[in-house]
Amino acid sequence: MASLPPSPGPPANYRILIALVWLVVQATLVITANRRTDGAFGFRMFNESSTVELSLHRELETEDGRRLRVRVDDGVWSARASDGTHHRLTWYDRVPMPYWVFDREMHASYGAATQLARLQAALDDLAAHVSPSDDLETRRFVLDVTVRRNGREPVVHHLVSPERTGLPAPAHAPAPHAPQGRGVP
């Protein structure tokens, strides 16, 4: 006999209650996984074979008020700081290395939609945390994400950070400094 019949003693009905609560919670999390971009708690393993390729840009403003996109190679750029010197800044100061690299096709972990949502959050975080005292030039960050969903033709998504605050008015700003990248009008 593998297991024994019920043991003597008072019935432990709390076990049934705990089991029911556990199963209802788990089933609810699985059924509602679609509502979360990353499908968290839904046990959807290997849901896609999509890839993403990232290209980061800074958006600067010239004296005549035009916007200029400057490509940021390898996530590193140099900008004029409030003390008049140029500071070297990097995406990886805010977003640690294991998550993303630039200009290289990467597996879109947990799917393309998850990566787009996380990248938008990372871009917003970057814009919020690069201090004006380190970078007086960048108005906002732009991320071009080339998504290839399950081997299909690539589609480029343009993610844009909010405008940075605390920067001087562009009309009084000198010409932007962009030694690390190629200017794209």
Partner 1 sequence: MLARFRDEIADGHVLGPVRAAIGALLGWHALSAAEELAKIGYFGDTFHVPMIPEGLVPSPRVYAVVLAARVCLAVMVAIGVWARPALAASAGLGLWLLLCDRNQFHHNRYSLYCYALLLSLTPCDRSWRASEPSVPEPRRGAWWGVRLAQLQVSLVYLASGGSKLLDPDWRNGLVLADRIARHAHVAIAKGVPHGVVELLARPDIASATAKLAIMTELVLCAALWLRPTRVVALWWGLWFHVLVQATSKVETFSVLALSLYGVFVTPDYRARKLRFDPSRFWGKLAGAVVPALDWFARFQVEPWEPDDQRGHSIVVIRRDGARATGIRAFAMIARCVPLLFPLWAPIALFASFTRRGDLTTRG
Can you give the binding site for partner 1, defined by CB under 8 A? 1-7, 11-13, 15-16, 18-19, 22-23, 26-27, 30, 33, 38-49, 51, 93-99, 107, 118, 121-122, 125-126, 150-151
Shortest approach of partner 1 to residue 146 CB, angstroms?
15
Number of Cβ atoms within 10 Å of the Cβ of 168: 11
Question: Of 19 and 184, which CB lies nearer to partner 1 in the complex structure?
Answer: 19
Shortest approach of partner 1 to residue 168 CB, angstroms?
26
- CA 128/CA 140 separation, integer angstroms: 10
Q: Judging by DSSP bridges, how do beta strands 140-148 and 67-72 pair with one another?
A: unpaired
CA distance between the termini of the chain: 79
**Torsion angle (degrees, nearest 10) of CA 23, 27, 33, 38:** 30
What is the DSSP-derived secondary structure letter of residue 49? -
Question: Of 4 and 169, which CB lies nearer to partner 1 in the complex structure?
Answer: 4
Residue among 47, 49, 67, 45 at smallest CA distance from 58: 67
Question: Of 9 and 174, which CB lies nearer to partner 1 in the complex structure?
Answer: 9
The 3-class SS string of 80-126 reads: ECCCCCEEEEEHHHCCCCCCCCCCCCEECCCCHHHHHHHHHHHHHHH
- CA 152/CA 162 separation, integer angstroms: 30
Shortest approach of partner 1 to residue 147 CB, angstroms?
13
Shortest approach of partner 1 to residue 181 CB, angstroms?
22
Shortest approach of partner 1 to residue 44 CB, angstroms?
4
Question: Of 65 and 96, which CB lies nearer to partner 1 in the complex structure?
Answer: 96
Question: Of 32 and 133, which CB lies nearer to partner 1 in the complex structure?
Answer: 32
